[in-house]
Amino acid sequence: MSKEIERKFLVKAGVDPALLGGEAVVMVQAYLSTDPRATVRVRIAGDRAKLTVKGLNNGIERDEWEYPIPTADAREMIARCASDKAIVIEKTRFKVGRWEVDKYDGALAGLVVAEIELTDGDEKIELPDWVGREVSGDVRYYNSVLADKGMPTSEV
C-alpha cells in the first residue's frame, strides 16, 4: 500500500494544456465502485492498464493500491462492469513538470484540471500562472464523483 498526497486545481479558462508542453497520454477509465470508503477504478493509459483501489480521503491524503492488469482485461471490465449510469471518463493527460493536467473529453468536455502529487501534506508548492482555483477538497471534482454524477454544475 502507498499513500497518495495530492492537490487539485482548475486550470484557468482559455489555457490549452497541449501548449504547456510535456508528454500527452490518452486515458479511458471507469469506476467499478464509487463508494468513498473504497473506490475501485480501471484505467487504460496508452497501451497500459491498471486496477486501482483508493481509500477514504483524509484531507489531501488517502491510501492507494494499484496493480497493472492486461489491457484486454481492462477493456472487458469497462465494457461489462461499469455501472449503466456511470460515465466512462475520457481524458488526455499532459505531464508538465511535476504537474499532471487532465483535459476531459466526452461527457466532461470542457473540464481541465491540474494535479500535483506531494511528498508531504505540508509541502509548499509554487503555482504556475495557468493554475486557477483549488478544488482539492471539493468532492464534485473527484474522478469517482465525476464518473457517477457528471460535470459539476453549481458552486459551493
Catalytic residue numbers? 31
User: Phi and psi at residue 72, in whole multiples of 5°?
Assistant: -60, -40
Of 129, 155, 130, 126, the closest CA to residue 140 belongs to: 155
Bridge-based pairing of strands 112-117 and 48-55 is: unpaired
Residue pointed to by grid coordinates 483508493: 54
C-alpha grid cell for residue 101? 493536467
Q: Which residues are CB-neighbours of 49 under 8 A, at least 6 positions away?
A: 42, 43, 68, 69, 70, 71, 73, 74, 75
Strands 24-33 and 38-45: antiparallel
Q: Residues with Cβ < 8 Å from 55, sequence gap 6 or more?
A: 37, 38, 62, 63, 64
